Amino acid sequence: MADMNTWQQFWYYMSENGAYVLSQFTRHFLISIYGVLIAAVVGIPIGLFIARNRKLSSTIIGIANVIQTIPSLAMLSIIMLGLGLGVNTVIVTVFLYSLLPIIKNTYTGMASVDPNVIDSAKGMGMTSFQRLYMVEIPLSLSVIMAGIRNALVVAIGITAIGAFVGAGGLGDIIVRGTNATNGGAIILAGALPTALMAIIADLVLGAVQRRLEPKKARS
Amino acid sequence: MATAQPIVQYLDVNKVYRGGNVAVEHINLTIERGDFVCLIGTSGSGKTTTMRMINRMLEPTGGQILFNGEDIHKKDPVKLRRQIGYVIQNIGLMPHMTLYENITLVPKLLKWPEAKRRAKAESLIKMVELPVDYLDRYPAELSGGQQQRIGVIRALAADQDLILMDEPFGALDPITRESLQELVKSLQEKLGKTVVFVTHDMDEALKLATKIVVMDGGHIIQNATPAELLQHPANQFVRDLIGEERLIQARADVTTVGAIMLKNPAVITPGKSLPEAIALMRKRRVDTLLVVDDNGYLKGFIDVESLTHQYQKSTAVADIMQTKLFYVQETALLRDSVDRILKRGLKYVPVVDADNKLRGIVTRASLVDMVYDTIWGGDNDNGESGNPAPVDQEPAEGGGVNE
């Protein structure tokens, strides 16, 4: 082992522990996804609601902003006090961090729909609900998607810290590497897949977001 | 009475915005079926507010609005709006829907079957002279003018009888605007729709409207046909809105020949002798005499040339009278007559009434008066017979109206 350089050690680690890395990769991904999905389920309706009730928007977005300013390690520790060690604490943390980009983007997306389109939709006799699902949501979907994309990339980073509260995931490998002497290769085995996951998530959701954009002229 | 029921009626309608801003006050207005009503006024005159209360985009704070005799306040606003076409200035097509989906949106809300919607969309898009395959395109692929054409037919798609238009062509260039104005006017006439049209452009209103409602400060100042409005503006505000230039132009459009003719042309009866005719010519200083019979019917004319040629042979006016004579009706529009006088190079035109009785004469000199009034804005005092020589040559030729 000692005569190999860091990269050789890295590939050696990966070939010996590939299955373990993959299982942690999956676990890491699922923790992030669950947190973001729950945030989307909660955050999108909140965003739609404050878009219709503009007076509440500054309060709600203000609260989400405050949550965002808490350092992630501190947040994990605080939530750990309530939920104890384990995966749930991380999912809740991811959820809280994802709320702001999702609520904010939903609100922005709704607010940026051309008021003339809303006016003519109303004037043509669409009910409030029809306006929402036939006009406003389709037109703001790409902006909402951008919020989810943003949230997911952040979530992957937060989940890596989740190893400190015993949630597992790729952070676990990184922590293992920092504890070992000459653990550089092990750190890489945890960090590179994390980075790769974030990049792929960003690219895939970026493509989805572009597909959801309202149709433009194709000349 | 049921058939003659007005489509929209405002009964003492008020609209006060929160904070006490009065938008409109005491609006009483009846819109008849088939009318093209233009609401015109400056910004803040309440014209858009007045229009938007019809489909309950705004709620009046007082009074009643009847649509087909029913109080709209008692109707479901969603159902009401589906019966009323709505076109706004910024077009407001759904950018994420194809033109087909845009046009058939209201029919879809009304749950028309697909085949009927498709047929309707195709017939409508043909009406605005766009190719049928455009139905699958998205609004962003069209020019502004084409988009507003779609906006207009979208408002017709569910066979709405009443169409509301809020400055629909304000954002378009003049040429596109004109073609859309013609389109809307012809659609309205062809389909017998009632249109309520908000504009601040008097040319547009005069061109399109059958009724023009002038508004200022939340009140209706005048409600009249375009011709009435031009002839009898209610007050200075209306005059200013129309503009002096248009009023003067309109004078030629609506002034009849009778209004500017001279009422005492030099006339002679057929039985008079030639020396008498010459004496009369000298006295009136004219070279032509109109010949009328004892009852005042126009028979012809004699001029000084035929008089000198035939002086030896003939004795009575009737012998040398020329009967081929161009004349105009008293009620004819001046605009048309001026054209003829100038084109034919006539020095004068006799004016007759419906029975062919001589009423007066229009000379080049009276045209000069008209031109003078138009340019220098003098009072329109034609008809007062300050000018004794209806066929006087000097002022007519000096007037520069030749060719």
- Residues of A whose CB is below 8 A from B112: none
Q: Which of residues 194-213 of A touch B (CB under 8 A)?
A: none
Cβ separation of A125 and B82 shorter than 8 Å?
A: yes
B364 touches chain A (CB under 8 A): no
The per-residue pLDDT for B279 is: 85
Cβ separation of A124 and B164 shorter than 8 Å?
A: no
B78: nearest CA partner in chain A: A125
Query: What are the pLDDT digits (tens) for B286-313?
Result: 888 888 888 888 888 888 887 777 777 7
Rounded to whole angstroms, how far apart are CA atoms A2 and A15? 17
How many residues belong to chain A? Answer: 219
A53 touches chain B (CB under 8 A): no
Mutate to test the interface with A, among B48, B87, B89, B94 (most CBs of A within 10 A): B94
Two structure tokens written together for A77: 């520790």
Give the DSSP letter of residue A135. Answer: I
B286-300 b/e (C-beta count within 10 Å ≥ 16 → b): bbbbbbbeeeeebbb
B335-345 mean pLDDT: 74
The per-residue pLDDT for B374 is: 66
Query: What are the pLDDT digits (tens) for A37-68?
Result: 999 999 999 999 999 888 888 899 899 889 88
Cβ separation of B95 and A122 shorter than 8 Å?
A: no
Cβ separation of A126 and B109 shorter than 8 Å?
A: yes
The per-residue pLDDT for B262 is: 82
Cβ separation of B95 and A215 shorter than 8 Å?
A: yes
Rounded to whole angstroms, how far apart are CA atoms B333 and B371? 16
Confidence of residue B340 (pLDDT cuts 50, 70, 90): confident
Alpha helical stretches, state H, B17-113: 47-52, 77-82, 99-103, 105-109
Confidence of residue A1 (pLDDT cuts 50, 70, 90): low
Which are the contacts of A179, defined by CB distance < 8 A and separation ≥ 6? none
| A123 closest CB neighbour out of B79, B81, B96 | B81
The per-residue pLDDT for A7 is: 87
Percent of chain B predicted with pLDDT > 70: 90
- Residues of A whose CB is below 8 A from B86: 120, 123-124
Which are the contacts of B116, defined by CB distance < 8 A and separation ≥ 6? B107
The per-residue pLDDT for B319 is: 79
B247 touches chain A (CB under 8 A): no
Half-sphere exposure of B303 (CA within 13 A, CB side): 10
> pLDDT at residue B382 above 60?
no
**Closest approach of chain B CAs to the CA of A126, in angstroms?**
6
Tell me the whole-structure pTM to 2 decimals: 0.70
Cβ separation of B94 and A117 shorter than 8 Å?
A: yes
B144 touches chain A (CB under 8 A): no
B111 touches chain A (CB under 8 A): no
A123 touches chain B (CB under 8 A): yes
Question: B98 — phi, psi (to 5°)?
Answer: -70, 170
3-state secondary structure of B168: coil
**Closest approach of chain A CAs to the CA of B244, in angstroms?**
36
Reported ipTM: the value is 0.77
> pLDDT at residue B390 above 60?
no
B249 touches chain A (CB under 8 A): no
A130 touches chain B (CB under 8 A): yes
A75-94 mean pLDDT: 90
Confidence of residue B384 (pLDDT cuts 50, 70, 90): very low
Rounded to whole angstroms, how far apart are CA atoms B271 and B274? 9
| A116 closest CB neighbour out of B79, B80, B88 | B88
| A127 closest CB neighbour out of B78, B138, B140 | B78
The per-residue pLDDT for A2 is: 63
A129 touches chain B (CB under 8 A): no
**Closest approach of chain A CAs to the CA of B100, in angstroms?**
14
Cβ separation of B109 and A130 shorter than 8 Å?
A: yes
Mutate to test the interface with B, among A112, A116, A118, A120 (most CBs of B within 10 A): A120
Query: What are the pLDDT digits (tens) for B33-64?
Result: 989 999 998 888 889 999 999 999 999 998 89
The per-residue pLDDT for B358 is: 86
Percent of chain A predicted with pLDDT > 70: 96
| B55 closest CB neighbour out of A123, A139, A216 | A123
First to last CA, chain A: 60
B57 touches chain A (CB under 8 A): yes
Rounded to whole angstroms, how far apart are CA atoms A45 and A52? 11
Mean pLDDT, chain B, as a whole number?
83
B170 touches chain A (CB under 8 A): no
> pLDDT at residue B391 above 70?
no
**Closest approach of chain B CAs to the CA of A137, in angstroms?**
11
